Structure 1
Amino acid sequence: MALARPDTGAPGPSSPSTSPKYDVFLSFRGEDVRYGFAAHLCSALDRQGIYTFRDDEHLERGELISDQLRQAIVQSEIAIVVLTENYFSSRWCLEELVTIVDSRDDRGQIVVPVFYGIDPSDVRHQRRSIAAAFEEHEARCSVDTIRRWREASTKISYLRGWVAEIVG
């Protein structure tokens, strides 16, 4: 179901706390898939009338990005998380992931992982490049922050999603 775009003024479905503003929030590591997979996915969703939050189009200049992203996540019906080898090296992506998993747990948001060139079991057990990314984070982040990121990573690895191999 496509929601009314914010600029139309037409109401979307309501919930007790917040009316959804977006159909989909798309979380991805920009340098990995922004101009390839993510761009094609967004185009396909747009063609179907599915209103998708993309940080390159919806972030207002001068606003705190983290607050605006958190708000966009909880104002979305669905979150699609494109997990790549480098996703876990981004503190920003991991914070998005925690917010997405919390939104799923707290309000039942639909979360769909896309394992893009990465094995779901490597995410679940935090092996290979994911283990290396967490080791690097441990030198700069609190134990609590690392724990939250690891728990969110494990939770999303158990969700049913898609496994996509990188072609080319």
Structure 2
Amino acid sequence: MIQGSDRDTPTSITSEYDVFLSFRGPDARHGIVDHLYQRMTEAGLRVFKDDEEIRRGELIAGELKRAIDGSRVYAVVFSSNHASAWLELDMMVDLHGGSNVGRKIILPIFFGTDPADVKLRTELYRKALDAHKDRHGHDVVKKWEEALKTVGGMSGWDSKAIQGEGRFVQLVVQDIFGKLRIKDKSLPDHLIGIDDQ
């Protein structure tokens, strides 16, 4: 984790993680998510990624809540298989819209999906949500729907708009550095254009 002296932040927040990387499904885990995680950790960011940070035997729900609460940027990768991370998303939206406004940032990353999918204007996530109503109840699923629509309406990154996954990852990581307002940080040569002008 980068200490406060490296940041130009509006408040003196200390976070356990710089970035909470949210994703589901093999279509993202072994591709875009691995590349994002590697690039960010190489650059010195403290990143929470569930298979890297949750230790076997710990209560997963409690650990996830602690990690979400202790992160400054939520990088949410929406892929075609992002059909089970809505509890995480609901927690993020609550923290973003609550007393931590200005402190928590949600960055949607649309990987093979569109904002319309996340806003539930297509069947991609709607079918999966409907399947959860019996298990979790109508009220819980309704909250998840609202969280999806909220995040789907936020400015983010669309993988289809950038040619090449390497370039896409580079731009996303640069954006995260800008959102964290990191200054005077020694960065690898392959991260360009993130210093203040």
* TM-score by shorter chain over 0.5: yes
2:24 alignment counterpart: 29
- Letter of the 1:75 counterpart: G
Paired residues of 1:14 and 1:20 also in contact (CA < 8 A): no
Paired residues of 1:21 and 1:76 also in contact (CA < 8 A): yes
Match of 1:79 among 74, 82, 89: 74
The whole-number CA distance in structure 2 between the counterparts of 1:48 and 1:167 is 20
1:133 alignment counterpart: 128
Shift of 1:124: 1.2
The whole-number CA distance in structure 2 between the counterparts of 1:95 and 1:86 is 15
Match of 1:120 among 100, 115, 119: 115
Paired residues of 1:78 and 1:110 also in contact (CA < 8 A): yes
Aligned counterparts, 1:40-79, within 5 A: 40-79=35-74
* Deviation sequence 1:49-106 (CA, Å, 0-9, x none): 111111112112221001001100110111100011221x21xx01001011111112
Match of 2:95 among 103, 125, 147: 103
The whole-number CA distance in structure 1 between the counterparts of 2:108 and 2:60 is 23
2:2 alignment counterpart: 3
- Letter of the 2:93 counterpart: V
Paired residues of 1:113 and 1:161 also in contact (CA < 8 A): yes
TM-align CA RMSD: 2.0
Shift of 1:40: 0.4
The whole-number CA distance in structure 1 between the counterparts of 2:121 and 2:89 is 15
Q: Determine what percentage of the aligned residue pairs are the same residue.
A: 35
Give SS of 2:154's match. coil
Q: 1:84 to 1:3 in 2, by over 3 A?
A: same
The whole-number CA distance in structure 2 between the counterparts of 1:55 and 1:105 is 23
The whole-number CA distance in structure 2 between the counterparts of 1:21 and 1:125 is 33
Runs (5+) with no aligned partner, structure 2: 4-10, 166-197
The whole-number CA distance in structure 1 between the counterparts of 2:142 and 2:94 is 14
The whole-number CA distance in structure 2 between the counterparts of 1:122 and 1:30 is 16
Paired residues in the alignment total 153
